């Protein structure tokens, strides 16, 4: 009986430890992937900015080209952009977004360009994260209402600042692990 209890306790400890290590590695890998996607988006913006500097594109044309490249093809009417066809997509639902210093939407698959919500709390956190000194502070967690279900869930965003356009860009995904707590929790 004692041997069985020792084996059970040992197996439980090993199992829990293995699970915890594997989960942490997967979360870290997911966060790194978010960062890589945003770095790729920043390179795209840099190439477009070079075209602006070389007077091959106007700034407004470059910004619209950036929206199409980062958020996918423009949908008909006021439907926004088909972000699921973007090369900058994270697992079917993570999309690139960009906000101006006034928290206006500049790159977003569904928010109208220039729109500013009445409550800018989440955008303030993301703009602050984009300009943070510490690499860990570029990851921002916030509560967001799912448009499809109406349920409020935490999202995690990786944000960075694109200085030439004074644009805070990033990628946001729903936290499926439940491991991240928003600043409001």
| C-alpha–C-alpha distance, residues 169 and 98, integer Å | 4
Per-residue model confidence as pLDDT tens digits over 22-59: 877 777 888 888 899 999 999 999 999 999 999 999 99
Mean pLDDT across the chain = 86
- List 174's β-bridge partners, or say none: 155
pLDDT at residue number 16: 87
Strand order, beta sheet including 139-145: 105-107, 95-99, 167-174, 152-162, 139-145
Q: In this predicted model, what pLDDT tens digit does every residue of 67-110 receive, in sequence order?
A: 999 998 888 877 788 888 888 888 877 889 999 999 999 999 88
* CA–CA–CA angle 102, 44, 39 (5° rounding): 80
Q: Report yes or no: 97 and 170 within 8 Å, Cβ to Cβ.
A: yes
pLDDT of residue 178: 57
User: What's residue 87's pLDDT?
Assistant: 82
> Residue 169: its pLDDT value, please?
96
Nearest residue to 97 (alpha-carbon basis) of 73, 119, 123: 123
Give which of 98, 100, 67 is closest to 85, Cα–Cα: 67
Size (the chain), residues: 185
pTM of the model: 0.78
Burial of 33 (0-12, 13-18, 19+ CB in 10 A): middle
Phi/psi for 106 (5° steps) reads: -115, -35
Helix or strand run (H / E) with residue 121: helix 121-130
């Amino acid at each position: 009986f004692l041997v069985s209890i020792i084996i059970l306790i040992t197996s439980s400890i090993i199992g829990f430890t293995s699970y915890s290590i594997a989960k942490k590695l997967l979360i870290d890998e997911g966060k790194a992937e978010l960062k890589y996607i945003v770095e790729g988006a920043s390179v795209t913006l840099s190439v477009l900015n070079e075209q602006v500097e070389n007077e091959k594109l106007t700034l407004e044309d470059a910004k619209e080209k950036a929206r199409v490249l980062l958020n996918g093809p423009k949908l008909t009417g006021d439907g926004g952009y088909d972000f699921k066809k973007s090369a900058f997509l994270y697992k079917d639902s993570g999309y690139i977004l960009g906000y101006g210093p006034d928290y206006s939407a500049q790159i977003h698959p569904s928010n109208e360009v220039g729109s500013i919500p009445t409550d800018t709390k989440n955008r303030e956190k993301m703009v602050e994260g984009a300009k943070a000194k510490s690499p860990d502070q570029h990851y921002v967690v916030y509560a967001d209402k799912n448009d499809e279900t109406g349920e409020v869930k935490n999202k995690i965003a990786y944000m960075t600042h694109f200085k030439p356009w004074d644009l805070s860009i990033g990628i946001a995904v729903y936290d499926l692990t439940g491991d991240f707590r928003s600043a409001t929790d």
